Amino acid sequence: MSFQIAQQTKQRIKNSKNPSIKRILRALKTLRCGDLPLPMATYKVIFFIHQCVMNTLSYLSRVFYWTPLFKSQITACGKQLYLYGGLPYFSGPLDITVGEYCRISGQTTITGRGCAHAMPKLTIGDNVDIGWMTTIAVGNKIKIGNNVRIAGRAFLAGYPGHPLDAQARAAGAPETDQQVADIILEDDVWLATGVTVMAGVTIGKGSIIGASSVVTKDIPAGVLAAGIPALVIKDLAS
């Protein structure tokens, strides 16, 4: 009852025709929105200082905290790894090797199949970009070649996480071995934003996969493919 009374009172004040109340409401809205006559030149200097401080803190945390933590969880790492935006999320057993000159978003998720018969292996080549919010789910093996570019929100689905049988799924059983397969991205592949690559797929050298595509079958080298499922659109050499 008290809540209803408060809401009714609030509405009466907002709809009041009284000039004094209207002025007070306008003043309160100005304060709420921060629309105050402040010296913008001063705040440009403050913003510059803010950016310098934040960039310095980001650099220090990346070099002395996030990157060493990441390297502690992988088997081998080449020189000049650039890990930005925090620490990737790790889940399950994983054997990870990273090549030289790689750039990996800290918002990446890397998982290994928990019921695998052997340690799931992720191999990342040299000069590889892995973008924001990408998920790499390693069933048995995922190999990412040299000079590969993976844009944001990509998904390499080496295993599904659940079985096809409804009763087994309801009981919390894992996927079957038949649902798991390797994924191979050969050298110079580019996955655009939001691409999903399913288990058992090989994408050939230099091929490009269009945004939001779902790759369910092998893609040959040197082509542009897109769609759901992804189909070859053109030969990049032509």
Q: What confidence tens digit (pLDDT) does each residue in 78-115 have?
A: 999 999 999 999 999 999 999 999 999 999 999 999 99
- What is the average pLDDT across 223-238? 95
Active site residue 117: no
Q: What is the mean pLDDT of residues 206-221?
A: 98
164 in Cβ contact with 138 (< 8 Å): no
Q: By C-alpha distance, which of 210, 207, 177 is closest to 189? A: 207
C-alpha torsion 33→37→41→43, nearest 10: -30
Q: Tens of pLDDT along 190-200? A: 999 999 999 99
Q: What is the mean pLDDT of the chain?
A: 93
Find the catalytic residue in 71, 143, 153, 162: 162
pLDDT given at position 18: 83
pLDDT at 1: 57
In 3D space, the residue among 194, 192, 193, 220 whose CA is nearest the CA of residue 207 turns out to be 220
pTM for the complete prediction?
0.85
Q: What percent of the chain has pLDDT over 90?
A: 81
Inform me whether the pLDDT recorded for 4 exceeds 80.
no
Burial tier of 213 (Cβ tally within 10 Å: 0-12, 13-18, 19+)? buried
